[in-house]
Structure 1
Amino acid sequence: MTRRPFPRLILLGLLVAGSPAAAHEVGAWAGANSAPAERSEVAVAALDGKAYVIGDYNGATELLIYDLAEDRWSKGAPFPYPVHHTMAAERGGRIYVFGGYVNGWEASPKVWAYDPKADRWEPRADLPTPRAAGGATPLGAKIHVVGGSGSGRGNVATHEIYDPATDSWAGAAPLPTPRDHLAVQTVEGRIVAVGGRIDGDSSKNLTANQVYDPAADRWSDAAPLPTARSGVASAVLGREVFVIGGESKVKTYDAVEAFDLPANLWRALARLPTARHGFGAVTYGGRLYTLTGSPRPGGEKSGIVEVLDPKGAAPGR
């Protein structure tokens, strides 16, 4: 596949340093076109070369769409109502959005599917367990929704599987360490659930890293996240889960750490130029794109887009 050059990218820097994670910090970051509206506490999913930014802590409902090849933003049909801390994943040519907080901190059971061709939202079968700030990830033809919090922000260990073909739900082994604001990704046919916090309290960040084997319907512990944090962005490239940014009560993080599932090892990469939380990440053309988020703890927002080439080469111009 021919890679298009990145128009108007601004090189942000190349960092190389030693790391206690038995690796070197490597990679080059570059800036790209900012989103047309500032957002935080979003869900982000990718489909057919575009990233979709859904929800907002401050109540915005417009769907923001980023063309990854063209470095260009557009807008889609608004989400049906204000929502934040929702969860999203792609399957079968649609973006599915699960739960989230509505009316302040009320956990929603609602599920919606976005059809990009029709630019339309459609309701789907409710989550059996209303929740927000968990993770959603596709595995095979289905989508797994893992962890999060209910109304009142108390954690749930629930792990439920959505089948888009039948619009139905099934249960699976619960998450061993209940938590919210965690990263949940599928890699090498298994699900990795990493980081997060206890009962919505970012002073109680975790290093927990647990892996789900769908064949055995069982979770196991893996090498812990080197930097305890929550509210991270995450994405998969190759056989690694990248965990980016995050927050605590007193700071936002610029840490970028990648977990190699088969090797059960972490490595550190060049730090995020703008430390932030409540944002999302997707991969395209061998690079990681980080979209929007809050540069300070709490409910601030931004339209920042920053792009990491993990191999250390600056994007083409």
Structure 2
Amino acid sequence: MRRRRFVAAVLAGAGGTAALPNTAGSAAARPDSPARHATGHWQPRAPLPVGRGEVGTAALAGRLFVVGGTVQEGEASPLWASTAVHSYDPRRDRWSVHAPLPKPLTHVGVAASGGRLYAFGGFTDAVHLNPQPDAYAYDPRQDHWHRLPDMPTALGSIAVAAVHGRLHLIGGRDSHRIVTPHGSPVSLGFGTVSAHHVYEPGTDTYRQAPPLPGEARDHAGTAVLASRIHVVGGRVEDVGDNLTRHDVFDTRTQRWLRAAPLPAARSAGAAVVMNGCVIYAGGECRPGSSTDTFDDVTLYDPHLDRWKNLTALPGSRHGFGAAHLNGQAYFAGGSPTCGGGTSTDTFTLSLHH
């Protein structure tokens, strides 16, 4: 699917940001950095029961949960927004089906906290159309979803991070502008935000927090290290507006910090934390191409404020998800080409030193 490029340099109202303090000093001063000599090893696991893409993922109760997104059975036409929920059991190398989402959604934001799975926002149609304000919580003991109060704004492709029992909802797409390219059978939703809200499960309420600095964005990678939320890459509106930007929100000081940018601009990759580092894999689209996704895997060491390359993905992709379980990172689904698409692929990444 060929996309038109729309550039918007929207600045958040948070003012400037400070550089991330290098708490460990220089590389020479910290030869024991956890990532200094790390290499990656990939291994295939049991495939998803159906092709999945544009999914939300999180680790809960010892399993990798994959929520919503595009579903495709064999060669059948894809179902762009779905209620599908699967989980992967690493002990048995087996997938299970769980209670469906109450509404078909794609590009839903997912995180786990306090023994529950949380899902926020999403679109009900391609391409980025009909963003929703919906919020849900899933109880794995009862295999049941229940509705939470709506988000303050209807959004899809929102970054969600769980820190100390709170859910941070960062950026996203409100699709306030609908464009139908000449001769195209589909329309596209445009419009990203810098909003940052925090959902408090204890009171069932939302509160505002300092917004994203710099460009408004969605399709960003999100990872949590200690009390800090890393927001990596993403796009201003389209894949021609991809970012290398790497912002870090310190939940203790309520301040945004700048960290080392991604080596290459991209969006819709998968982010996960391992060994005290952030790993970002894949994404769309490679510069100069409307079809080629990234297979790059890069690791961010917060001690050095530096990225380093790891072994590439077994196949390039975007729109997939990742979570950490038992010392390994699990990756599932995604599309090998830019735009729509699915796969049943499941892989683990192990780090060796």
Normalised TM-score (structure 1): 0.88
Structure 1's consecutive aligned runs of 4 or more residues displaced over 6 angstroms after TM superposition are 22-25
In structure 1, the residue matched to 2:294 is: 253
**What are the ranges of 5 or more consecutive residues in structure 1 without an aligned counterpart?**
1-21, 313-317
Deviations 1:79-101 (A, max 9, x none): 11211011001111110000011
Distance 2:190 2:145 in 1: 27
- Whether the 8 Å contact between 1:25 and 1:267 is mirrored in structure 2 is no
2:217 equivalent among 173, 179, 187: 179
Alignment of 1:270 with 2:308, yes or no, is: no
The within-5 A match list for 1:78-97 is 78-97=100-119
- Whether the 8 Å contact between 1:24 and 1:267 is mirrored in structure 2 is no
In structure 2, the residue matched to 1:281 is: 322
In structure 2, the residue matched to 1:4 is: none
% identical aligned pairs: 39
Change (3 A) 1:306 1:98: same
Tell me the secondary structure at the aligned position of residue 154 of structure 1.
Answer: strand
- Whether the 8 Å contact between 1:28 and 1:270 is mirrored in structure 2 is yes
In structure 1, the residue matched to 2:261 is: 224
In structure 2, the residue matched to 1:108 is: 132
Q: Which amino acid letter does the alignment assign opposite residue 144 of structure 2?
A: R
Alignment of 1:189 with 2:230, yes or no, is: no
Alignment of 1:42 with 2:55, yes or no, is: yes
- Whether the 8 Å contact between 1:227 and 1:255 is mirrored in structure 2 is no
Q: Which amino acid letter does the alignment assign opposite residue 188 of structure 1?
A: A
- Whether the 8 Å contact between 2:81 and 2:123 is mirrored in structure 1 is no
Name which one, 1 or 2, has greater alpha-carbon Rg.
Answer: 2
Distance 1:216 1:59 in 2: 38
Tell me the secondary structure at the aligned position of residue 190 of structure 2.
Answer: coil
Deviations 1:125-168 (A, max 9, x none): 11112211121011111011111111233110001101112111
Distance 1:129 1:149 in 2: 10
1:250 CA displacement: 3.1
Tell me the secondary structure at the aligned position of residue 203 of structure 1.
Answer: helix
Tell me the secondary structure at the aligned position of residue 52 of structure 2.
Answer: coil
Distance 1:191 1:62 in 2: 28
Distance 1:67 1:129 in 2: 34
Distance 2:325 2:204 in 1: 29
The within-5 A match list for 1:19-168 is 26-57=39-70, 58-104=80-126, 105-151=129-175, 152-168=189-205
1:203 CA displacement: 1.6
- Whether the 8 Å contact between 2:283 and 2:294 is mirrored in structure 1 is yes
Tell me the secondary structure at the aligned position of residue 272 of structure 1.
Answer: coil
Tell me the secondary structure at the aligned position of residue 160 of structure 2.
Answer: strand
Distance 2:82 2:194 in 1: 29
**What are the ranges of 5 or more consecutive residues in structure 2 without an aligned counterpart?**
1-34, 71-79, 176-188
Superposed CA RMSD: 1.5
1:24 CA displacement: 6.6
Distance 1:257 1:157 in 2: 25
Q: Which amino acid letter does the alignment assign opposite residue 338 of structure 2?
A: P
Distance 1:261 1:173 in 2: 22
Distance 2:302 2:153 in 1: 29
In structure 2, the residue matched to 1:299 is: 340
Q: Which amino acid letter does the alignment assign opposite residue 65 of structure 1?
A: S
Q: Which amino acid letter does the alignment assign opposite residue 158 of structure 2?
A: G
In structure 2, the residue matched to 1:12 is: none
Q: Which amino acid letter does the alignment assign opposite residue 209 of structure 2?
A: A
1:59 CA displacement: 2.9
- Whether the 8 Å contact between 1:250 and 1:297 is mirrored in structure 2 is yes
Alignment of 1:308 with 2:321, yes or no, is: no
Distance 1:38 1:212 in 2: 34
1:188 CA displacement: 2.6
- Count of residues in correspondence between the two structures: 290
- Whether the 8 Å contact between 1:41 and 1:84 is mirrored in structure 2 is yes
In structure 1, the residue matched to 2:276 is: 239
Alignment of 1:198 with 2:236, yes or no, is: yes
Distance 2:121 2:111 in 1: 12
- Whether the 8 Å contact between 1:49 and 1:69 is mirrored in structure 2 is no
- Whether the 8 Å contact between 1:252 and 1:297 is mirrored in structure 2 is yes
- Whether the 8 Å contact between 1:290 and 1:307 is mirrored in structure 2 is yes
Distance 1:289 1:95 in 2: 17
Q: Which amino acid letter does the alignment assign opposite residue 125 of structure 1?
A: P
